[in-house]
Structures are given as structure tokens and as C-alpha cells.
Amino acid sequence: MLQHGTRSKIAERAAPHLPFEEFKAESLEGLLKLLEKYKVASSKIQFSESESAHSFCQKQLIHILVPFDHYPVNKHVYREVELLYQYCPSCQLAVRVL
């Protein structure tokens, strides 16, 4: 059972989107600003143009990798959790892939 107050910390740290959730994003800059709130403090969001095309408009997609969390597996090893997004600047649509 969760203690009072624990639930709000978990909800506060939750990822902003579910896997495969598609949503409107007016610009890449706006999307990056939103995702900046959820990344690990000392990390950087990485993004690059994809070689694949958006299935709706056939324009190039942008991949965005967000370091979301890290936790110890043992004394010497940490596991990182990253969120992967795809963004289509032409359609102004984003989707969380993983």
C-alpha cells in the first residue's frame, strides 16, 4: 500500500504520454520544451532526422530520444529508461513510440 504523499510523487514523475499515443505538436521547439520537463536533470534530449517517411504525408520524420529515468541494478550498474518519440513537422503530429 502506498503512503499518503507517495502517489503524488509517482504521478508527478509519470511519462507525459503512453506508448503509441499520437498527439498534436505545433512545432519541434514546442515539443522539445514540453519533453524537457520530464528528462533526467543532467541529461540532454537528442533528436535527428529519420531516413523513414511519415506514412500519411511521406515527409521525413524526426526521432527524439528523452532520457527519462535511471535506477541502480546493483552497486556498479545503472539502468536507463528512455522515451522515444517520432515527430512529423509537416503534419505537426508526434507519437511516443516507446
- Read out DSSP for 6-75? HHHHHHHHS-SS-TT-EEE-S-HHHHHHHHHTTS-TT---EEEEEEEE-TTT-PEEEEEEEEEEEEESSS
pLDDT (tens digit, 9 = 90+) per residue, 1-28? 334 443 333 344 577 888 899 999 999 9
Q: What residue spans define the domains of the chain?
A: 6-96
Determine if the pTM surpasses 0.85.
no
Which residues of the chain fall below pLDDT 70? 1-13, 70-72, 78
Which contiguous run of DSSP H or E holds residue 84? Answer: strand 78-88
